[in-house]
Amino acid sequence: MNLEGDLDVKTRGGLWPGKPPLTYRDPLFIGQLRNHRFPHLKSPSSVCFCVTRLTVTTYNIAIMENVYKMWVEGKEAEGGAEQLAIEDPATGEVFAQCHAASAGDVDSVVKTAHKVFKSGVWSKAPRHVRADTLDRIAELLTRSLPRLIELEVRQTGRAIREMNAQVPTLTKWFKYYAALIRTEERSVLPTVGKLHNWIDRKPLGVVAQITPFNHPMLIAVKKIAPALAAGNSIVLKPSELTPLTSIELGKLMKEAGLPDGVFNVLPGDGMTTGKALVEHPLIKKVDVTGGTPAGRAIGAIAGRNLAHYTAELGGKAPLIVFEQAHVDLAVNGIVFASFIASGQTCVAATRIIVQNKILDQVVEKLKAKVQSIERRMGSPKNVESMMGPLISAKQLGNVETLVNDAKDAGVTIVTGGQRMNRQSSLDDTDFSKGYFYPPTILADSASRKIVDTRIWKEEAFGPVIVVVGFDTEEEALNLANDSEFGLGAAIWTQDLSQAFRVSENIESGICWVNTHHRNDPSSPWGGIKSSGVGSENGIDAYNAYTTSKSTIINYATAQEGLGSDDWFREGTGEVRYG
């Protein structure tokens, strides 16, 4: 499409925070077209265009075709906030736009979800109806895997070999909670006298779920499945960086028969959409996965509203390798624990604590393994690629800052430690266009201890590990527990007694022995210390989406009641209190 006229160019800062403003020298830049009419566009002033060639009087403009909308009341809906530009982290290309919710949108959707909850169409539906719906969601999810995996790879930059392994497992959460509500037993409590006391569990109402960019579908499903099983209505706010597959989940749930308005997706940023959502007085629970500072702020708001709260927050997971470990197995375990998802997981093993007797051996094997990963990095769409980019320029900058701080302090860079700007030897991917950072190992130098640097304490959320040595079991535990966080931890040893002893004393919500990242719907997943409140998965997560209701029935006869239950009767005699 060729157009002549003035183009009001929007700076890159509005679409890509952290990058410099666009100039006329940029080969590709984003603008908004003003004062032109297109009969097929409802709001031309809000449509983004990619300008690919500029002449004195002519602009060649390609309209962004991939536009995603909010998912509200079982259908797509336009949002009132500024649209989100969804970027491919491997190329830096904006490949989609996504509608975002304004504060007014949030208010309207929460109120509607509340009405749906009160109607009882889902909250009071028989258990077998809810269970059957969850099973149908699992079935449809299985059918949709290729399309969802492709989209998840595009928006996250995660290697497709990871997504091919992870995404198919999500059906287990829907199946698990379907089975749980089919088989759940209710307590009948012992009482004195002719009383029958049982405990029921009731859904809370409208719940807010806030999910991060690193595992968009996995973390969403871990929250959605127990909330739906319990009978709640959901308003989900996905990360503004990766909202697309969450919207697709909404469409899939409608097809499975979930009533309209029970599940809603409101993309948007934290300061507008997220804030309005967690502050809403009709929200009865907030379930968030994210950073610790955000978790503290959200928790304070939830507390003011007396809303239930679950938070899975930051981590700085230790991984201890004892001399009794099988070294090759331990090295394989370390690289998986540390570099899956490019290190962008809250349980990533970032502090590797190795017994000094095997330290040199472990470091050499780690170095070889890590360099092998780097050699086989390429496009995330390539099934042979081992690791993808970081999610954004901002996240890349965070990693570079912490690594450079350690470099300046004088620690040893065993391998990696600098942004990738070359072409891939695997498939010629141009790393300089995306946010690629190599798997990196840092260690003590003769003059500087890694434990004295910021990266020992602070969460980098990238493919960077630090390696330290120890002599005694007590020293290993002190190093492992030297953190404000307490989410995941791991131990590698062939000594079973040592495994029990050390795992009992590690300060973490999850501890793996001779493995890592194992995650089952039945197994609680949550942290202690600054890593969060409550847990995902299992019966605990289901119960956290409910409130208990105690019902006591007096089945004594009228004559028995008149004889023992008239507290204010005339005369004396034994009368029951309460």
Residues carrying an active site annotation: 312
Angle made by CA atoms 266, 271, 277, in degrees to the nearest 5: 45
On whether the CB atoms of residues 127 and 182 are closer than 8 A, the answer is yes
Amino acid at residue number 129: V
Amino acid at residue number 32: Q
Q: What gap in Å lies between CA 156 and CA 213, rounded to an integer?
A: 7
Q: Which candidate, 522, 533, 534, 526, places its Cα nearest to that of 508?
A: 526
On whether the CB atoms of residues 90 and 197 are closer than 8 A, the answer is no
Residues 6 or more apart whose Cβ sits within 8 Å of residue 521:
172, 173, 175, 176, 177, 222, 225, 537, 538
Amino acid at residue number 184: E
CA atoms within 13 A on the CB side of 298: 32
270: left (phi over 0), alpha (psi -120 to 50) or beta: alpha
Residues 6 or more apart whose Cβ sits within 8 Å of residue 212:
219, 239, 289, 290
Which CA distances in Å does 532 have to 237, 241, 288, 491, 541? 19, 23, 9, 22, 14
Which segments of 280-355 does DSSP mark as H helices, in order?
A: 292-304, 327-339
Containing 455, the helix (H) or strand (E) segment is helix 454-457
Q: What gap in Å lies between CA 416 and CA 413, rounded to an integer?
A: 7
Which CA distances in Å does 250 have to 37, 57, 242, 456, 514? 33, 44, 15, 40, 38
Q: What is the DSSP letter of 42?
A: S
Orientation angle between helical segments 127-143 and 171-183, nearest 10 degrees: 170
Residues 6 or more apart whose Cβ sits within 8 Å of residue 206:
110, 113, 114, 117, 232, 233, 234, 235, 282, 283, 284
Sign of CA dihedral 528, 533, 539, 541: negative
Containing 265, the helix (H) or strand (E) segment is strand 263-265
Q: Which candidate, 438, 388, 464, places its Cα nearest to that of 157?
A: 388
Q: What gap in Å lies between CA 304 and CA 288, rounded to an integer?
A: 16
CA atoms within 13 A on the CB side of 34: 6
Q: What gap in Å lies between CA 155 and CA 226, rounded to an integer?
A: 26
